[in-house]
Amino acid sequence: MGVAITDINQLDLNGSYTYADYLKWKFKERVELLKGKIVRMSPAPSSSHQQISLRVTRKLDSFFLDTTCNLFVAPFDVRLVKSKSNDTKVITVVQPDLCVICDENKLDEKGCNGSPDLIVEILSPGNSKKEMGIKFDLYEENGVKEYWIVEPTEKAIFIYSLHNEKFIGLKPLTEDDKMKSVLFPELIFDVKDIF
């Protein structure tokens, strides 16, 4: 069964791990597993990050309330795999700020096994590089259909829609614009409402 890890310092941060390893970790620090590598998550989000997250959550929750899609907020484990895989084979586990999953077969007691349809990440100091670069590539290669990056400082939203296995970026949206999902065209709201 293996020993539970209670302190992140017990791990080799340059080592390579799987979701089966991740499940044994019992320390308080939140981490993600990106292609087998441990990535520390930013400290607790700021109050403005939390407020934006709550406002986006309200918009998504009211839209998806009576649909077959499910909305989840962090912390919620998303195992990025092309097809169902056992825990020892999964090497990428992320905790997006928000995600929408329309295929209930991807859901289990541990979270999501496969790619969500929509992922929303809200930038905060210290996570921009990860969300803008590493996760962008991961979400694209794993078939996330739509990815929003919310930039609180500039009060902007960047929407990326998957076409032919590549993300296509739309014009950045600012406070004067209407937010309209590509994947869910009836999901529309004023950008200023979340800032």
CB atoms within 10 A of CB 168: 11
Which residue in the block uniquely carries the two structure tokens 């259909």?
Answer: 145
Specify the pLDDT at position 167.
Answer: 98
Task: State whether 64 and 154 are in the same domain.
Answer: yes
Task: State whether 56 and 145 are in the same domain.
Answer: yes
Task: State whether 131 and 70 are in the same domain.
Answer: yes
Q: Does residue 1 form part of some domain? A: no
Output the pTM of the full model.
Answer: 0.91
> Dihedral angle at the C-alpha atoms of 162, 168, 174, 180, nearest 10 degrees?
-40
Any idea how long the chain is?
195
What single DSSP character describes residue 8? Answer: G
Task: State whether 135 and 151 are in the same domain.
Answer: yes
Task: State whether 64 and 107 are in the same domain.
Answer: yes
Q: Does residue 149 form part of some domain? A: yes
Q: Does residue 136 form part of some domain? A: yes
Domain span at residue 71? 47-194
Q: Does residue 93 form part of some domain? A: yes
Specify the pLDDT at position 41.
Answer: 83
When divided into structural domains, the chain yields a total of: 2
Q: Does residue 3 form part of some domain? A: no
Q: Does residue 145 form part of some domain? A: yes
Specify the pLDDT at position 2.
Answer: 61
Task: State whether 139 and 184 are in the same domain.
Answer: yes
Task: State whether 133 and 152 are in the same domain.
Answer: yes
Task: State whether 69 and 137 are in the same domain.
Answer: yes
Q: Does residue 117 form part of some domain? A: yes
Q: Does residue 112 form part of some domain? A: yes
Specify the pLDDT at position 16.
Answer: 95
Task: State whether 106 and 137 are in the same domain.
Answer: yes
Task: State whether 51 and 33 are in the same domain.
Answer: no
Task: State whether 56 and 120 are in the same domain.
Answer: yes
Parts of the chain with a pLDDT under 50: 1
Q: Which runs of E-coded beta strand occur in the chain?
A: 31-34, 37-40, 70-73, 78-79, 93-94, 98-101, 107-108, 111-113, 118-122, 146-151, 156-163, 166-169, 178-180, 188-190
Task: State whether 13 and 64 are in the same domain.
Answer: no
